[in-house]
């Protein structure tokens, strides 16, 4: 172009070109384009570094906007208890997530990162969030609709913190309660676990009819990406040792551990996490046959597969012994995103050189990146990458706490009620002379929440907002005096004249390997508390635990026994049922053993000889004093209102002695 003098016209033309360059039509940015078109368009623009960046997930403690930008990081996570500040508010969370996101958006292609967190019983790392019962208790409710509603609420509470992705649900089929993660499993019976995958519909949204099987589905901004974990056989390890070896034939694998994955995929689950465990001696993180051959090819799963935390490191023993090999084996097995989570430069360097040496093929990389982008496009992350405070008021809101309370009520399993069927002990009367509440778990919110609550390992005492069982009992009985003594001695018992006692004892919180336990006893001095209290006054014992525990020796001492699992923040649900405002409906989702030397013992086993069988759960005779057979207080009110109205109506209709109709 000839431009002898710098004229205004020339300048305008130049500006025009510059503008046109900037506004080049980017197909991948156009939400009207089909997802697959957007994926193809974006992939062809990406460098290897940008692709490997997408396949990298790092922990928030090593993340910054600069790191996001420099390494094109595709994802960040909060590990257990990893929060921006103690007791952080939604605003602090949202700001943190947005700061990282701005780093990702400032890259050449502006691909948003996806932030993930373990919201495994509510948004449990977050202060003030509603903490729902752990899965073992939800299994006892036998109520998939309830679990779906918990998914809805959890999605909102996760979005309240600006986060769009949760590593839940755990769909392990726990076959041995000695496993430290047994409480993360809905049941020893795969059919119950399968039903409970309805939580995915709550988290991600109801899948539309005719949706292609295997293709991820996330309904919108009020939903989150879910993650079915841990693929596959995590609940079947030998003797319940965490991250260990699951020895099972094809029939057992496909019949027990795999079925919940079929359901999850049908319900549109967007991601699957691989298990630390091995299958017949082969590490799942390096298992090409199952991750690629079965999950992706046979089951047509089109979302992305994520590794577990340091999961590829643990392919070798000791972990990290040959990290380059770990990267090769993990990615070639079919892992799409690696939860690194700290040493990302080592991972990126190794992955890059493995591709350059053709040990990992470019088509494997493109498959991984396509899957990650598919989830990001489907969930609308490109259109709405930044969070705002519009969901902030969802965190720990009243309706969610009410829902958690309902879940607690329905999860309680009544194992014993009186010494003969005609002498039932529960429900307890609200009016009494004096009630004793005892035990290590009666007034400890941290204990009743269990592991994965505020901290990875859980905690003790007032870890967050909630209602302890003791507070709940006090508010239920009104004016009746309630005396609390954690571990009363004999003289205390003799000098006090209690009408009855409630003893709340159990396990202390734990997570993962720390929870592996071959004894399964309750925390001391729990057994002494039961002995001292129950031998002096009639008592109901409530067990707070992630699994069945040794209880047979103390059973004759107590009038009633209730399994409350790990109920979470809403302890009011326990009192609701103890005092008969609601009935007991829970059924064991696990076999309750007599002694640990019977383990493993699951329903259907030839040596089955349980203390309480799978499916057991007493209900309360509705003619009991203090107990109404109506489903809820609201029902009772309804019945009264109808009765009064029909009485009035019949009075009107028979006015002055004549029936008018
Ligand atoms: C993290 C957890 C993680 C665990 C795995 C912890 O430090 O906080 O999120 O699951 O390590 O070993
Ligand atoms: C656990 C996973 C969890 C991850 C991130 C791992 O240790 O096995 O279940 O999602 O940490 O916290």
What distance in angstroms lies between residue 641's CA and the mean position of ligand 2's atoms?
51
91 and 147 fall within a common domain: yes
327 and 419 fall within a common domain: no
195 and 150 fall within a common domain: yes
Q: Phi/psi at 492 (nearest 5 deg)? A: -60, -40
What's the confidence (pLDDT) of residue 379? 98
What distance in angstroms lies between residue 375's CA and the mean position of ligand 1's atoms?
24
Indicate whether 16 pLDDT > 50. Answer: no
Confirm whether 368 is domain-assigned: yes
What distance in angstroms lies between residue 279's CA and the mean position of ligand 2's atoms?
19
429 and 545 fall within a common domain: yes
What CATH number should be reported for the domain holding residue 560? 3.40.50.1700
Confirm whether 81 is domain-assigned: yes
Ligand 2 neighbours (beta carbon < 6 A): 79-80, 118, 167, 229, 308-309, 512
What's the confidence (pLDDT) of residue 620? 86
Catalytic residue among 308, 313, 336, 581: 308
What's the confidence (pLDDT) of residue 11? 52
What is the token pair recorded at 24?
């080049």
308 is catalytic: yes
524 is catalytic: no
What distance in angstroms lies between residue 121's CA and the mean position of ligand 2's atoms?
14
Indicate whether 166 pLDDT > 90. Answer: yes
DSSP 41-79: HHHHH--HHHHHHHTEEEEGGG--HHHHHHHT--EEEE-
Ligand 1 neighbours (beta carbon < 6 A): 79-82, 309, 456
417 and 515 fall within a common domain: yes
Greater confidence (9 vs 86) lies with 86
What's the confidence (pLDDT) of residue 12? 52
Provide the pLDDT confidence category of residue 625 given band limits of 50, 70 and 90. Answer: very low
Q: Whole-number mean pLDDT of the chain?
A: 93
What's the confidence (pLDDT) of residue 648? 42
Provide the pLDDT confidence category of residue 19 given band limits of 50, 70 and 90. Answer: low
What residues does 455 pair with on adjacent strands?
A: 453
What distance in angstroms lies between residue 312's CA and the mean position of ligand 1's atoms?
14
Confirm whether 523 is domain-assigned: yes
State which ligand 2 atom lies nearest to the alpha carbon of 167: 10
Non-local CB neighbours of 412 within 8 Å, separated by 6+ positions: 140, 562, 563, 564, 573, 574, 577, 584, 586
Confirm whether 78 is domain-assigned: yes
Ligand in nearest proximity to the CA of 514: 1
State which ligand 1 atom lies nearest to the alpha carbon of 456: 8
249 and 145 fall within a common domain: yes
- Mean pLDDT within 52-63: 99
C-alpha dist (Å) from residue 538 to 254, 416, 556, 611: 48, 13, 12, 22
Q: Which of 200, 220, 217, 197 is nearest to 208 (CA)?
A: 217
What DSSP character marks residue 500? E
Non-local CB neighbours of 32 within 8 Å, separated by 6+ positions: none
What's the confidence (pLDDT) of residue 23? 72
- Mean pLDDT within 350-367: 98
Mutational test site, ligand 2, from 81, 118, 232, 272, max ligand atoms within 8 Å of CB: 118
Mutational test site, ligand 2, from 308, 451, 452, max ligand atoms within 8 Å of CB: 308
Domain count across the chain: 2
Question: Alpha-carbon distance 460 to 541, whole Å?
Answer: 20
371 and 468 fall within a common domain: no
What's the confidence (pLDDT) of residue 421? 74
Instruction: Classify 99 as helix, strand or coil.
Output: helix
What DSSP character marks residue 509? P
499 and 551 fall within a common domain: yes
Confirm whether 395 is domain-assigned: no
pLDDT tens, 411-422? 999 999 998 878
515 and 591 fall within a common domain: yes
Q: How far is CA 148 from the centre of its chain?
A: 12
Place of tokens 């002055």: 656
Mutational test site, ligand 1, from 58, 79, 120, 170, max ligand atoms within 8 Å of CB: 79
374 and 417 fall within a common domain: no
Share of the chain above pLDDT 70, in %: 90
Three-class HEC string of 183-237: HHCCECCHHHHHHHCCHHHHHHCCCCCCCCCCCCCCCCCCCCECEEEEECCHHHE
Mutational test site, ligand 2, from 57, 119, 167, max ligand atoms within 8 Å of CB: 167
Provide the pLDDT confidence category of residue 4 given band limits of 50, 70 and 90. Answer: very low
211 and 77 fall within a common domain: yes
pLDDT tens, 123-152? 999 999 999 999 999 999 999 999 999 999
What distance in angstroms lies between residue 451's CA and the mean position of ligand 1's atoms?
12
Ligand in nearest proximity to the CA of 118: 2
Say if residues 168 and 199 touch (Cβ distance below 8 Å): yes
Q: Cα 222–225–227 angle (5° rounding)?
A: 145
What distance in angstroms lies between residue 59's CA and the mean position of ligand 2's atoms?
12
Confirm whether 615 is domain-assigned: yes
pLDDT tens, 68-82? 999 999 999 999 999
How long a stretch of residues is the chain? 661
Ligand in nearest proximity to the CA of 228: 2
What's the confidence (pLDDT) of residue 420? 81
Indicate whether 282 pLDDT > 70. Answer: yes
Indicate whether 390 pLDDT > 60. Answer: yes
- Mean pLDDT within 585-594: 98
Indicate whether 2 pLDDT > 60. Answer: no
pLDDT tens, 519-565? 999 999 999 999 999 999 999 999 999 999 999 999 999 999 999 99
Nearest residue by C-alpha to atom 4 in ligand 2: 309
- Mean pLDDT within 86-95: 98
Indicate whether 627 pLDDT > 90. Answer: no
Indicate whether 496 pLDDT > 60. Answer: yes
Count, in order, helices (H) and strands (E) of the chain.
22, 17
442 and 373 fall within a common domain: no
Catalytic residue among 118, 143, 313, 512: 512
For the CA atoms of 301, 50, 59, 302, the dihedral, rounded to the nearest 10 degrees, stands at: -10
What distance in angstroms lies between residue 602's CA and the mean position of ligand 2's atoms?
26
Confirm whether 100 is domain-assigned: yes
What distance in angstroms lies between residue 79's CA and the mean position of ligand 1's atoms?
6
Indicate whether 463 pLDDT > 90. Answer: yes
What CATH number should be reported for the domain holding residue 354? 3.20.20.300
Non-local CB neighbours of 357 within 8 Å, separated by 6+ positions: none
Q: How far is CA 436 from the centre of its chain?
A: 34
Share of the chain above pLDDT 90, in %: 89
What's the confidence (pLDDT) of residue 470? 99
User: Would the pTM of this model clear 0.85, i.e. be above it?
Assistant: yes
**CB-side neighbour CA atoms (13 Å) of 623:** 3
What is the span of the domain harbouring residue 621?
Answer: 412-633
State which ligand 2 atom lies nearest to the alpha carbon of 170: 9
- Mean pLDDT within 437-457: 99
Confirm whether 650 is domain-assigned: no
């Amino acid at each position: 172009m000839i431009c002898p003098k710098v004229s205004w016209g020339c300048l305008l033309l130049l500006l025009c070109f510059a503008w046109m360059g900037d506004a080049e039509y980017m197909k991948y940015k156009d939400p009207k384009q089909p997802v697959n078109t957007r994926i193809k368009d974006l992939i062809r623009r990406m460098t290897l570094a940008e692709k490997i960046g997408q396949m990298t997930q790092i922990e928030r403690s090593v993340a910054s906007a600069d790191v996001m930008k420099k390494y094109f990081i595709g994802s960040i996570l909060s590990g257990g208890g990893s929060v921006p500040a103690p007791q952080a508010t939604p605003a602090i969370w949202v700001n943190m997530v947005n700061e990282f996101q701005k780093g990702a958006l400032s890259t050449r292609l502006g691909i948003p990162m996806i932030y993930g967190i373990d919201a495994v019983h509510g948004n449990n790392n977050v202060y003030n969030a509603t903490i729902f019962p752990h899965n073992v208790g939800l299994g006892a409710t036998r109520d998939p609709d309830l679990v779906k509603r918990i998914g809805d609420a959890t999605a909102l509470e996760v979005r309240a913190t600006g986060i769009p992705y949760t590593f839940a649900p755990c769909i392990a089929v726990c076959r041995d309660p000695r496993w430290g993660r047994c409480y993360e499993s809905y049941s020893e019976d795969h059919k119950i676990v399968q039903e409970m995958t309805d939580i995915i519909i709550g988290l991600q949204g109801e899948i539309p009819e005719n949706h292609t099987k295997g293709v991820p589905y996330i309904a919108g901004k009020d939903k989150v990406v879910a993650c079915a974990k841990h693929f596959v056989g995590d609940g079947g390890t030998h003797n319940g040792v965490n991250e260990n070896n699951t020895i099972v034939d094809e029939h057992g694998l496909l019949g027990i551990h795999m079925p919940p994955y079929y359901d999850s995929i049908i319900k549109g689950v967007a991601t699957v996490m691989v298990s630390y465990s091995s299958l017949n001696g082969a590490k799942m993180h390096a298992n090409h046959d199952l991750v690629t051959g079965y999950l992706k090819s046979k089951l047509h799963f089109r979302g992305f597969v994520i590794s577990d935390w340091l999961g590829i490191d643990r392919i070798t023993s000791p972990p990290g012994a040959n990290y380059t090999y770990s990267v090769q084996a993990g990615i070639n097995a079919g892992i799409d995103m690696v939860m690194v989570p700290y040493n990302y430069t080592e991972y990126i360097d190794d992955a890059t050189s493995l591709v350059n040496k053709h040990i990992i093929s470019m088509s494997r990389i493109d498959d991984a990146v396509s899957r990650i982008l598919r989830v990001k496009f489907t969930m609308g992350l490109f259109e709405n990458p930044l969070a705002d405070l519009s969901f902030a008021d969802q965190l720990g809101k009243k309706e969610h706490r009410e829902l958690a309370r309902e879940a607690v009520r329905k999860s309680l399993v009544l194992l014993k009620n009186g010494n003969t069927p005609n002498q039932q002990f529960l429900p307890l009367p609200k009016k009494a002379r004096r009630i004793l509440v005892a035990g290590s778990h009666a007034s400890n919110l941290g204990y009743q929440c269990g592991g994965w609550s505020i901290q990875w390992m859980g905690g003790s005492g007032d870890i967050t907002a909630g209602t302890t069982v003791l507070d709940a009992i006090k508010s239920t009985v009104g004016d009746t005096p309630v005396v609390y003594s954690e571990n009363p001695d004999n003289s205390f018992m003799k000098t006090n004249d209690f009408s009855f006692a409630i003893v709340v004892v159990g396990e202390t919180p734990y997570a993962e390997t720390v929870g592996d336990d071959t004894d399964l006893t309750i925390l001391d001095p729990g057994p002494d508390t039961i002995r001292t209290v129950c031998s002096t006054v009639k008592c109901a014992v409530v067990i707070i635990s992630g699994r069945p525990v040794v209880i047979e020796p103390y059973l004759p001492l107590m009038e009633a026994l209730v399994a409350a699992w790990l109920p979470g923040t809403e302890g009011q649900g326990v009192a609701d049922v103890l005092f008969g405002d609601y009935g007991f409906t829970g059924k064991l989702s696990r076999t309750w053993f007599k002694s640990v030397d019977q383990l493993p013992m699951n329903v259907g086993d030839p040596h089955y000889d349980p203390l309480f069988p799978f499916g057991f759960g007493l209900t309360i005779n509705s003619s009991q004093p203090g107990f109404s057979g109506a489903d809820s207080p609201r029902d009772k009110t309804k019945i009264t209102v109808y009765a009064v109205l029909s009485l009035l109506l019949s009075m009107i209709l028979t006015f002055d002695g004549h029936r008018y109709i």
